[in-house]
Structure 1
Amino acid sequence: MADTLDLAADPVELTIALVDTPSVSGDEKHIADLVERALREQTGLEVVRTGNVVLARTNLGLPSRVVLAGHLDTVPINDNLPSRLADGILHGCGSVDMKGGDAVMLNVAATVTAPRHDLTFVFYDCEEIEASRNGLGRVERELPEWLRGDLAIVCEASQGVIEAGCQGTIRVEVRAVGERAHTARGWMGRNAIHALGDALATLGAYESRIVEIDGCTYREGLQAVKITGGVAGNVVPDEAVLTVNHRFAPDKSGADAEKYLRELFAGYEVTVTDLSPGALPGLSAPAARELVAASGAAPVAKLGWTDVARFAALGLPAVNFGPGDPSLAHTKQEHVPVEQIRHCRDVLARFLGGE
């Protein structure tokens, strides 16, 4: 476990130090202490600590501001610490989600000393657990001025490609009601599980809606993720509940998505259990165009929900940009190519400092 962080070091070495500092959600104090101490050693940064959130920013009076955000927590360790570096691949819990991105941010904070935009760095806790504990949400409620700017970059894993905006997500419970009876006289009841047949057929016939926004292609999804019902082995069930998750393109509002599902499952009782609107790409913003140019590659749509949506709701164009394959997040095999870490650092340094 690291005792200090050298923010100006190779960002790969910095990633190793962060990965080897366990920080499972709710236990981020040590890593937050390290980050805070290292940022306070830099010149020209205002640093604030609230709980296990560490905030830092420049105040150069520049006409625009870029916010960079990354969470410090990981999912529980799965026999994948300490880190291991082999053949240009760094293995370990959090290497993808998202300590590689955190290392890039910290290195930029120390090495981009003459930025073209004022910079804000947000290192927050509890992203991997219930949204009510998410440190970014706490900053939004208690220190909203720290989330103001012209572009937000969430350094979540994106394989070193700019992922613009994000999908929205909504979960609903589709409930069917029947009437109990003994299975020996099943005709005297109404089977609620059977009554979900039409809803399941609707899901089976679903065809993805594909939407292009700002050159980014979003593909919607609709999946049953859980089904419950049944009383006993000899009883016709009187209630069954199907849980459905809909991932929707950011041209839809949360209200649009809810309306769509209520119409799709007309005749059933539909209850919304979770709803997070998406984020439009926002690539027409000047700072976003500069970032795309610095990356040298075409941006793509983010097929999933990330905290960019929180920034978009505040009026900031927001993108995901960080090292690592997001499909490896939360797995025992989590690993990141070291060249992606360096690539992301170099792109941000070009964008922010004109290197």
Structure 2
Amino acid sequence: MRTIDWVPAEGQSPGHIRLVDQKLLPGTLSEVDVHSVEQLIDAIQDLSVRGAPALGVAGALGVALAAQNLSADSAREVIAKLRAARPTAVNLAWGVDAALAAFDEGGPEAALVAALKVRDDDIAACEAMAERGTELLSRLLPDRPRLNVMTICNTGALAAIEHGTALGVVEKLHHDGRLALAVACETRPLLQGARLTAWELKRMGADYRVIVDSAAASVLARGGADVVMVGADRIAANGDTANKIGTFALALAAAHAGVPFLVVAPESTIDPDTADGGAIEIEDRGSEEVCSFAGVRTTPEGTAALNPAFDVTPAGLITAIVTDTRVIDLGASQVPAHPTEAA
């Protein structure tokens, strides 16, 4: 299963995008065929497709879709809307920009080639992060042959293409016989942990438990997890990291418990143009998700809510960032430029 992919043209039918509708999980595993960028934008904004790496691939494939179906001017207009569909996650804009540059230079076919490369690079990056992450855990926790791992939101294959970021490391630990227990925070208000991470953990056959978000600090303080691993939607130049709301609280709790706190994300999530976390735009998704549950109102009529979808964890609370090409020890004052960037 791939979370999102390109369906090649067949006969008179042009190519299009196919994605897993994550809103229906865990009850129903269903795929949706996307034939327009407007449809893709809707799927991104209603969280049918979500997760930083998957959004990067969605952005790139969206450019290819626009390029093959629209005039150049119309394509660029709708591509601009796609790029802005979710402002906190840098990967969406990054994927759009990668395919758009190819489109500007070589036309629709070049855009598709670039988009498919973004997809394939994501698969390889997730495999590399799993390797680096498990190696780092062996160094950080050499006396723990089997680990209890806590995580938040969903950072598995559903957030990427075939594998995940933080949950990809958990998956490798499981396959290597080194995972004792995965502890998944439910992740209010949309329960990406309870719905999606638990679904993936069950499919891989791992031992897991779901906890309410507010139990995480207590579980950590009582020794219930050896490490916390999370993903990222944007990493600033100084190492401040935006991720699903609740991550900052988890990092504070991990620091209190003396537990390593690891961010696992591809290099494409590092945004050198964003100096620190204060410059990251935080998406607010409105009151409805907080004031109701499964379509049933849980607050008095007329109640408004603050609903930030993300928070920013300061670099000082992060033990290390694991990417597809390196491990960054955040004892330094900022994320150093990658060697290829410095060159």
**TM-score, normalised by the number of residues in structure 1:** 0.24
Q: Which of structures 1 and 2 has the bigger CA Rg?
A: 1
Q: Which has the higher helix share?
A: 2
Structure with larger RCO (C-alpha < 8 A, sep 6+): 1
